[in-house]
Structure 1
Amino acid sequence: MTTALLRYEAHVLTRNRLAKTLLEYAGRLPVEVRLTPVTWGDSTAWCVTLLGSDRREIPAPGRTRQISALIRNAFPEADWSRAQNYAPATGVLTEHAMPMPPRTAARAPGMPLRPLPRTWLDHNGIARTARACPGQWVFVQAYDSYGAARSAARRIRSAEGRGGAYAPSGSFEASCAPSVSGAALWTRYTGDSDSGGER
């Protein structure tokens, strides 16, 4: 059984205004803008990702709050407790839905996926995501052992070796938590050079 995603279409004047502003902020018109709500304590922030036609992220430094507010104000009827995708070319906003992975005999319902091979980990992308949402915890990876997760956490905090994407040293915190497969690693960008305590 599938559930139809809610879809909203902006008036042509609103669509043109949004496109003009996005072009001004990003230097080119993205094919998609993703807004993902992140709750931290009692407040909610929105991580904003602009994607180009090559599906690569378009940087818009210092403009994510304005972009988030602009799109949310254009679609007040949307459910902003859920992630949304906006297509500037068509003016259509749809709820972002991730496909569920297929069940296998090795994975019982409710169990987390096994850790991905280390070579698949995009530390630059994780660091970019965390920088876009300062103070918000971002999932890094599940590890086979707590020791491996702690070692990776040290590299993130010190920005050494494979943790170079998290430079400068001390600008990211890292936290390990026990999981079914071993341990899960999370990070957040603080911008402080003297932070980075372990949890």
Structure 2
Amino acid sequence: MRCGLSPLEQSTSEYQMVERYLENTHAPTHSSYKMKIRNVFAVDKHGEKEKLNSSVGNRKLLWHGSRLANWYGILSQGLRIAPPEAPVTGYMFGKGVYFADMSSKSANYCFPQPGKPGFLLLAEVLLGETNDLINSDYNASKLPKGKSSTFGMGRIAPDPAEDLTLPDGCVVPLGKPIEMEGAAKYTLNYNEYIVYNTNQINLKYLVEVDFDFESLL
């Protein structure tokens, strides 16, 4: 499927960064389950780095979740944008690829079930200059001039003071959640990041998790 997956040892700094990011950003309203990492794989999607639009800066490592049935397609073909015939009403900020900085927001798209593992993706997303919105906009894919992505602003987000900047300059928003300034006027609980061109996405880690419902009973 033209995609290499290399398991990471628990002792590596990469694994520990992923684990910290997963645990710190489990959202307070997503309290029906906990997540425990089963495996972390470094992803090497052949040809993807070469296609990246390196002129777009503001790189963040962000979460994306999907059903088990979708992962072969994602790993073989990359994350895709919905086709023109798909109804736009299902997409709060237009047809694009959606990411989150809260692990459980993305995990909910895995449709967690007891006894079944799920997979989450961490991707380096080239956001560039963001079009910041506090309400949904089905036409957000028509970006204003100079903007490269949409940022749906949430009331609760990882503490920016705890951001981790990796040696290559990519920012990991792995701080514990705090309420953002001006949150009362936001309609979203949590941040959403949307890009409308797949040359702004670099798959980095595939995270296999177990969903634990029982410990919360």
Normalised to the residue count of structure 1, the TM-score between the two structures is 0.29
- Structure with more of its chain in strand, by fraction: 2
- Structure with more of its chain in helix, by fraction: 1
- Highest relative contact order (Cα 8 Å, sep 6+), 1 or 2? 2
Larger Rg: 1
